[in-house]
Amino acid sequence: MPREVRDVVFVDGVRTPFGKAGGMYANTRADDLVIRCIRELMRRNPQLPPEKVEEVAIAATTQIGDQGLTIGRTAALLAGLPKTVPGFAIDRMCAGAMTAVTTVVSGIAMGAYDVAIAGGVEHMGRHPMGEGVDPNPRIVAEKLVDPSALVMGATAENLHDRVPQITKERTDAFALASQQKTAKAYANGKLQGDLVPVAVRDPEAGWGLATTDEAPRETSLEKLATLKTPFRPHGKVTAGNAAGLNDGATAALLVAEETARELGLPIGMRLVSFGFVGVEPEVMGVGPIPSTEKALRIAGLSIDDIGLFELNEAFAVQVLAFLDHFGIADDDPRVNAWGGAIAIGHPLASSGVRLMTQLARQFAEHPEVRYGLTAMCIGIGMGGTVIWENPHWEGGDK
């Protein structure tokens, strides 16, 4: 029997403050971070009966320890959702939460269910990327990939080789702007509304409350210029122009639009299209370019139709390669208006929903913008892009 594809909306998104790996969350379990996010989503949307949630998809890149055991299901149970609510775990490295979202919205669009929660968690202090993995040696021995493909910082240096017009000076300037935009967003109260306070414990200081991101810092071009290049002697990638190692979690509420209206749930944005692609693993940072081209093609749009961009700043060079490809200036105000991962942090599998949540909040402030996108590069050579429509759009050019 033929089915009609339904419109799916992003209702709400939340996240924990992002911590430095092994920092303020050193004594906090990874699953407790995502449980806190799920509980907050339900608290903020009391018109949604818990039994209406029909799926919980939670991503983690390192699915062991307190990030293992089908974390979507266990987190749902521990968050207090009914035992009838199923859940699952998902992994697409940095795009885990993004893939959790696109997976559940696909199910909603075809009518498998009406309401789902999707998100991600990464506790890089407890579980460094690659912990416990055993890559098949043939992937390197048979020259399917260069060994550098398995080291994300090395792939960023490889990308610099491909795009020599992106100098270290440009990446440092972009990184400084990210720090400055994040500081301004905090000063203007843009980020705090979606941060879930988390109780944290220090063996010496006792209990405390995490309420803000731990990674943002004051810096300057002069300071950034002095940082070491750990992935290559005299290279261009530093701790200052790349995202750090972080701990944190996110969760979002995705609902069939007709169901959202029936329940009186707010509509933050409407899904338009998405695309995932594979690229050469050695230069995984180019991934968002073809994934964006794919998502635009599916949507019947062009890059000129996009009025807001939330691009994950795994490495400054990766974002600048995207901007150069599409003819967008380094300081275009449409791009990462409230800062990005270089300042805020990038707890791998959780970051996709952070991008979406920030885009949804910006949509509410920009009714003149019709379309926005979230995009990110993905380890082992992939890219992911999701295009969204602004429900507050009042007409105009974009």
Catalytic residues, which ones?
A: 94, 346, 377
C-beta of residue 175 within 8 angstroms of C-beta of residue 335: no
327 and 102 in contact (C-beta within 8 Å)?
no
Quickly list H helices, the chain: 30-44, 71-78, 96-109, 138-141, 152-162, 168-187, 221-225, 257-263, 288-299, 316-325, 341-344, 351-365
N-terminal to C-terminal alpha carbon distance within the chain: 37
- Output the CA torsion 355→361→363→367 (10° steps): -170
Distance, in Å, from the CA atom of 46 to the CA atom of 290, rounded to the nearest integer, reads 40
Alpha-carbon torsion, ordered 40, 180, 158, 98, to 10 deg = 20
- Report yes or no: 244 and 19 within 8 Å, Cβ to Cβ: no
Both tokens of 148, joined, read 């550098």
- According to DSSP, the β-strands at 56-59 and 198-202 are unpaired
- Using CB atoms within 10 Å of the CB of residue 53, give its burial: 0 to 12 exposed, 13 to 18 middle, 19+ buried: buried
Please name the residues in contact with 94: beta carbons below 8 A apart, sequence gap of 6 or more: 61, 312, 314, 346, 348, 349, 351, 352, 376, 377, 378, 379
Q: Give the span between the Cα atoms of 10 and 250, in whole angstroms.
A: 14
Q: Are 253 and 48 in contact (CB under 8 A)?
A: yes
CA dist., res. 26 & res. 318, Å (int): 30
* Residue 36 C-alpha from the chain's centroid: 18
